[in-house]
Amino acid sequence: MSARFGIASALRDRAGFVARGLARVAAFALVAGTLAACSTDKDLAIPDDPADKLYNEGLYLLQQKSDYKEAAKKFEEVDRQHPYSDWARKALLMQAYAYYEAKEYDDSITAAKRYVSLHPGSADAAYAQFLIGSSYYEVIPDVTRDQQRTEKAMSELEQVIRKYPNTEYAASARKKLEVARDQLAGKEVMIGRFYLNKKDFVGAINRFKLVVTQYQTTRHVEEALMRLTEAYLALGIVQEAQTAAAVLGHNFPDSPWYKDAYAMVSSGGLKPSENKDSWISKLFQKRTG
Averaged pLDDT, 278-289: 81
Mean pLDDT of 87-103: 96
One domain, residues 144 and 9: yes
Alpha-carbon gap, residue 92 to 57, rounded angstroms? 14
Q: How confident is the model at residue 224 (pLDDT cuts 50, 70, 90)?
A: very high
Residue 194 in domain: no
Asked if residue 14 has pLDDT above 50, the reply is: no
Same domain, 168 and 222: no
Q: From CA 186, how far away is CA 230, in angstroms rounded?
A: 18
Structural domain ending residue among the three candidates 183, 207, 229: 183
Question: Cβ contacts of residue 18 below 8 Å, gap of 6+?
Answer: 101
- CA gap 131, 138 in Å, rounded: 10
Domain match, 115 and 159 both? yes
Residues 233 and 266 placed together within one structural domain of the fold = yes
The SS3 of residue 268 is coil
Do both 59 and 122 map to the same domain? yes
Q: What is the pLDDT of residues 161-182, one digit of tens each?
A: 999 999 999 999 999 999 999 9
pLDDT band, very low/low/confident/very high, at 240 (cuts 50, 70, 90): very high
User: Collapsing DSSP states into helix, strand and coil, what is residue 206?
Assistant: helix
For the chain, give the mean pLDDT: 86
Domain span holding position 241 = 199-288
> In this structure, are 123 and 217 located in the same domain?
no
Burial of 243 (0-12, 13-18, 19+ CB in 10 A): buried
pLDDT digits (tens, 9 = 90+) for 59-73: 999 998 889 999 999
- The answer to whether residue 33 sits within a structural domain is yes
- Band (pLDDT 50/70/90 cuts) for residue 47 is very low
* Boundary of a domain, candidates 157, 183, 209: 183
Q: Which of 155, 183, 211 is the last residue of a domain?
A: 183
For the chain, the domain total comes to 2
CATH (domain of 165): 1.25.40.10
Tell me whether residue 251 is in a domain.
Answer: yes
Residue 6 to residue 86: CA distance in whole angstroms: 41
The answer on 219 and 85 residing in a single domain is no
For residues 225 and 86, state if they share a domain: no
